[in-house]
Amino acid sequence: MPDFRAAERTHQLVSQVAGRCGRGDGPSLVIVQTFQPDAAAIKLAAAHDYETFAKLELAERERCKLPPITRMARLVVRDVNYPQCVLDAKRIASRLRQIASEAVRLRGPAPCPISRIAGKHRQQIELLADSPILLQELLVAGRNQGLLHAGAGLVVDVDPIALL
């Protein structure tokens, strides 16, 4: 999945399945089908080694400056008209870049991994800040300038659970 939490979710799921294995009377076996059998999420879940996985995952998040090391907001621009959706997302991203401090990174706009839902095209902008205050200041400034107004055409998700 195109989400920085994919390894975490994989580890959780495999650990959960493996943890349920063997609860019956007889011996049991878990078989995981994967294209990446050597991935840390798979190997460490199979070994029931959460601590090592957590250390590796947090180090990777630190290296890439991703949550929980930083704070994130995801803006999803939606419109039935594709060119208008792209134009609005570019306008919002451009304006936010102008008012953002250097400690806030903007990624996008880009099509959402699920680029169309309920007949509406979707573009996303990700905001990553070193602190919650910096993120909040940018979102408030965007709202005060009339740039960010949550509604049918824009969703603002602070600390998103999923990036789909």
Query: Could you tell me the domains of the chain?
Result: 6-64 (no CATH), 71-158 (3.30.70.600)
Residue 11 in tokens: 């580890």
Taking Cα atoms as reference points, which of 130, 131, 128, 87 lies closest to residue 109? 87
The stretches in the chain having pLDDT less than 70 are 1-2
pLDDT of residue 73: 95
118: which DSSP letter? T
DSSP 3-state percent helix, strand, coil across the chain (nearest 5)? 40, 25, 35
Q: Is the pTM of this model over 0.85?
A: no
Residues 6+ apart with CB under 8 A from 125: 74, 75, 77, 89, 92, 93, 96, 106, 107, 108, 109
pLDDT of residue 41: 94
